[in-house]
């Protein structure tokens, strides 16, 4: 087992700053994002690789959506479990989780949607070594006029 050097320790502490990411999830997220920060060209590429992005299949006039079957299962599990844990630690994730639940979606579908969001957020922070800041994320939602921003305004 490699000893933790200062660089790895700093990266681990960077991941610990995420809501709900204690020492267990922080180390799993660090492995998921890896040291090679430019490995994925976009958040969508990381979402597809992790198996979080839905797959749409079409045949004739029919189309159906399912989750990705060929992916690293432990990686997908890491993102889904952390997203579920983050719901208890950040207000906007609670509201964001409740929106699809109110529309009749299953618990797992709502949690996967949170994992999808988190990968987008962290994919923006990770390459630039920018710490996650909920206020910045919420301001970005407000600028885009996202429905979550409007729901948060009503809830608070």
Q: Are 110 and 97 in contact (CB under 8 A)?
A: yes
Considering only residues 122 and 37, tell me which one the structure prediction assigns the higher pLDDT: 122
Predicted model pTM: 0.80
- CA 14 to chain centroid: 15
List the single range of 15-19, 42-46, 95-99, 118-122 with lowest mean pLDDT: 15-19
- The residue with tokens 């430019």 is 38
- Tokens at 19, concatenated: 């809501």
Output the pLDDT for position 62.
95
Output the pLDDT for position 12.
54
Instruction: Extract the runs of DSSP E, i.e. beta strands, from 37-97.
Output: 54-59, 62-67
| Crossing angle of helices 23-33 and 107-128, rounded to 10° | 70
């Amino acid at each position: 087992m490699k000893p933790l050097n200062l660089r790895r320790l700093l990266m681990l502490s960077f991941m610990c700053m995420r809501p709900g990411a204690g020492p267990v999830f922080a180390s799993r997220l660090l492995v998921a994002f890896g040291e090679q920060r430019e490995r994925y060209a976009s958040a969508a590429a990381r979402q597809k690789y992790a198996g979080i992005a839905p797959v749409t299949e079409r045949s004739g006039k029919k189309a159906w959506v399912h989750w990705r079957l060929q992916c690293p299962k432990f990686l997908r599990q890491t993102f889904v479990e952390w997203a579920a844990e983050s719901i208890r630690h950040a207000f906007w994730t609670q509201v964001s989780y409740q929106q699809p639940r109110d529309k009749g979606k299953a618990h797992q579908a709502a949690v996967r949607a949170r994992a999808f969001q988190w990968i987008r957020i962290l994919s923006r922070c990770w390459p630039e070594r920018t710490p996650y800041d909920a206020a910045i994320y919420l301001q970005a939602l407000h600028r885009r006029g996202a429905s979550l921003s409007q729901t948060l305004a009503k809830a608070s």
